[in-house]
Structure 1
């Protein structure tokens, strides 16, 4: 239980730190947010918990394939916001489109026999 609480705390601190940096500098916030820190933390936690390099390799492969559809959020959200759509509907619309792209990507991967 302590290990799980430590993981949650460390991850939460990271997210809050990035948002605080972004308040001062959009560029620095973007740089920090674009580094796959969450993925690296998940990989570290997974390896610490299981000791399995195979599980780590599977996770890293899955993250690679699913980063592609996640880019839809970062394209759609600023387009909607700059078009004058309010924040909440923009975020919901961009997230919904991203989820649809995740399912599309999973279908494409399955079509090519790539299991993640």
Structure 2
């Protein structure tokens, strides 16, 4: 149970730091740089390795599989980061812009999962 709390706290602290840099210190570019780092993926790699350190072969397999999956699903998530600011600048409200970005991402995730399935990668 303690490890779960450490995982949650570590992840929450990273999100908090990015928010503080952007909002309180008016450094959106620095916050964007930190947020764009694959911190969630790297933390996940660490937690997978930590949880499976007694089973190195299983850890390697899961880490490799996770890494490839992250690569392919980053691609369809990127257009939302262009759509959301575009809609906001056009006067569309925050929530409709966010929903549109999420709908686009989910749609592109579905398309990517279908493409990956054709190559034998299943979810």
TM-score bracket relative to the smaller structure: over 0.9
Q: In terms of Rg, which structure is larger?
A: 2
Find the aligned partners of 2:37 and 2:50 in 1 and give their Cα distance: 21
The structure in which a higher percent of residues are helix is 1
What SS does the aligned partner of 2:76 have? helix
**Residue in 2 aligned with 1:15?**
15
Deviation at 1:114, TM superposition (A): 3.4
What SS does the aligned partner of 1:113 have? coil
Deviation at 1:115, TM superposition (A): 3.9
**Given the alignment of the two structures, is residue 38 of structure 1 paired with residue 40 of structure 2, yes or no?**
yes
Find the aligned partners of 2:48 and 2:11 in 1 and give their Cα distance: 14
Q: Which runs of 4+ in 1 moved over 6 A?
A: none
Find the aligned partners of 1:62 and 1:15 in 2 and give their Cα distance: 23
> Which ranges of structure 1 fall in alignment gaps of 5 or more residues?
none
With normalisation by structure 1, the TM-score equals 0.95
Number of residue pairs matched by the alignment: 116
1:37-73: CA deviation from partner (whole Å, max 9, x where unpaired): 1110011011101121111111111100000001021
Find the aligned partners of 1:55 and 1:89 in 2 and give their Cα distance: 37
**Residue in 2 aligned with 1:99?**
106
Question: Over aligned residue pairs, what C-alpha RMSD do you find?
Answer: 1.1
